[in-house]
Homo-oligomer: A and B are copies of this chain.
């Protein structure tokens, strides 16, 4: 599997659908890197142009990679090591391109039930099984900006259970989506 994931902190929406840069959430880095490690994701990109925020992320990573955290909990170290910090999505795409020798397919995620053509989970799973490099991007706050969704190659189906409620945290959404794409059960 040549799967990469990105957690986007800019450009995303706030509650009033204005474009903002959201803050790094400590638990996002932990939960999502552990999910990434479980499902064989190659790199987990944490994307923010705000330098102070990048520094916060770097400090968390240092603690678990080289500091006391690395001794205290080896499993966390193994997961946290998957994290790559970048300033914008193009920087991530360039890195993936270099690593894979090929432009990755960009697959956006969005909880809202927009009407455009969406990629189903079985189609996405098949692409990954066929070894196509893919970059799956998730928005923090109230979700990825329209501009990012428009430049993606595909927009993945939203996550639904048997209800109409679909307000998951990004941590839980990443977990469910990666299980649908690469879970074994």
> Residues of A with Cβ closer than 8 Å to B?
1, 15, 27, 30-31, 34-35, 37-40, 73, 75-76, 78-79, 120-122, 157, 159-163, 165-169, 171-176, 178-180, 182-185
A79: contacting residue among B121, B161, B167, B183, CB under 8 A: B167
Residues of chain B within 8 A (CB-CB) of A27 are 27, 169
Residues in B neighbouring A30, C-beta threshold 8 A: 169
Contact A185–B40 (Cβ < 8 Å): no
Q: Which residues of B contact A121 (CB under 8 A)?
A: 185
Contacts of A73 in B (CB 8 A): 15
- B185-A180 in contact (CB<8A): yes
CB proximity of A8 to chain B, nearest CB, Å:
19
Task: Judge whether A157 and B182 touch: CB under 8 Å.
Answer: no
Q: Are the CB atoms of B168 and A171 closer together than 8 Å?
A: no
* Nearest B residue (CB) for A177: B179
Q: Does the CB pair A1–B162 fall under 8 Å?
A: yes
Residue in contact with A75 in the complex, picked from B31, B76, B163, B167, CB distance below 8 Å: B167
Interface pair B182/A161, CB less than 8 Å apart: yes
